[in-house]
Amino acid sequence: MECLCEKAERTASKKKLVVLTGAGVSAESGLRTFRDSDGLWEEHDVMEVASIEGWRRNPDLVIEFYNQRRRQLATVSPNRAHVVLAELEKDFDVWIVTQNVDDLHERAGSTNILHLHGQLTKIRGVDGSNVTDIGYGDLKPGQTDENGVTLRPHIVWFGEDVPLIETADRLVREADIFAVVGSSLVVYPAAGLVGSLRPGVPAFLIDPGEVGIRLPSNFTVIREKAGSGVEKMREYLSAYVVR
Ligand code: OAD
């Protein structure tokens, strides 16, 4: 009992660190990003495989695309960036808001994760019902649940609402410190979360490339890959640890 109280008090005293992650955080694990020169959208038409219209036109193609992603996910592991973000929970109240559908933050040990764009390891009915785990297995074309409802990947596609955006927005407004790791910041509403930051909140951007928005002046830009960049951010963050 005492332990629980102590933990709650300690969490309350820690600064809230909100980290928005994108495909770049998983690149060093071997998962391709979407928009880099070797990105997934070079090989696949995004509107064919990741939009609600694409699903309606050709669900089998969409199912195969996500089956491939799931099979590949089973073969990769979290990298240094995922691990350090999980380790930061020791000193910060860390909230990961990820656009990624992989489970590498979970496997690295992060405990507060919002998957804005859904999760590869889950499926659901086309009517939104019955979100269930599929792990790294295949969804079969035309597969239905026990009530006869057609099953689909639990992914937020282009043309669909992002149900967790309000929760994410609230977290960003409450953030004492904010970071973006490995996102081009061209997909909305996720990219718009940067605009919800309170003025003057210390913020970091870790990305070896250019991003799609003009960053406010409170951002420290670390032009590195996620692994070394997150390590470097941890050094800056030591100034904000509540002791
Ligand atoms: P993008 O592919 O648009 O951007 C990836 C970002 O990662 C770029 O800014 C790269 O410079 C950066 N990057 C590449 N390698 C990196 C590394 N090793 N370390 C750190 N950064 C690196 O991916 P997202 O911004 O995540 O949505 O894309 C957002 C959404 O668009 C995705 O969630 C997905 C996609 O279409 C859906 O499919 C619904």
Say which CATH number the domain at 63 has: 3.30.1600.10
224 Cα: distance to centroid of ligand 1 (angstroms): 14
Say which CATH number the domain at 202 has: 3.40.50.1220
Candidate from 25, 36, 42 with most ligand 1 atoms within 8 A of CB, to mutate: 36
Cβ-proximal residues to 20 (8 Å cutoff; 6+ apart), any chain = 97, 98, 99, 172, 178, 179, 180, 181, 183, 190, 193, 194
Assess whether 154 carries a catalytic annotation. Answer: no
Q: Tell me if the pTM is above 0.75.
A: yes
Is the minimum distance from the CB of 36 to ligand 1 under 6 angstroms?
A: yes
Mean per-residue pLDDT of the chain: 94
Tracing tokens 């090989």 back to the chain, one arrives at 43
β-strand partners of 113: 96
Residues 234 and 151 in one domain: no
Residues 191 and 236 in one domain: yes
Indicate the SS3 state at residue 15: strand
Q: Which of ligand 1's atoms lies nearest the C-alpha of 50?
A: 38
What is residue 212's predicted lDDT score, i.e. its pLDDT?
86
Residues 39 and 53 in one domain: yes
Residues 101 and 144 in one domain: no
Candidate from 34, 37, 62 with most ligand 1 atoms within 8 A of CB, to mutate: 34
Those residues of the chain that have pLDDT short of 50 are 1-3, 5
User: Of the listed 82, 105, 115, 117, which one is catalytic?
Assistant: 117
For ligand 1, atom 36, name the residue with the nearest CA: 34
Give pLDDT tens digits for 171-211: 999 999 999 999 999 999 999 999 999 999 999 999 999 99
What is residue 2's predicted lDDT score, i.e. its pLDDT?
43
Is the minimum distance from the CB of 225 to ligand 1 under 6 angstroms?
A: yes
β-strand partners of 118: 155
Candidate from 164, 184, 228 with most ligand 1 atoms within 8 A of CB, to mutate: 184
Give how many domains the chain has, as a whole number.
2
Tokens coding 187: 């997909």
Cβ-proximal residues to 195 (8 Å cutoff; 6+ apart), any chain = none
Residues 101 and 205 in one domain: yes
What is residue 4's predicted lDDT score, i.e. its pLDDT?
53
Residues 233 and 202 in one domain: yes
Give pLDDT tens digits for 91-109: 999 999 999 999 999 999 9
Q: Which of ligand 1's atoms lies nearest the C-alpha of 21?
A: 26
Domain that holds residue 213: 1-31+78-117+162-243
C-alpha atoms less than 13 angstroms from C-alpha of 90 in its C-beta half-sphere: 7
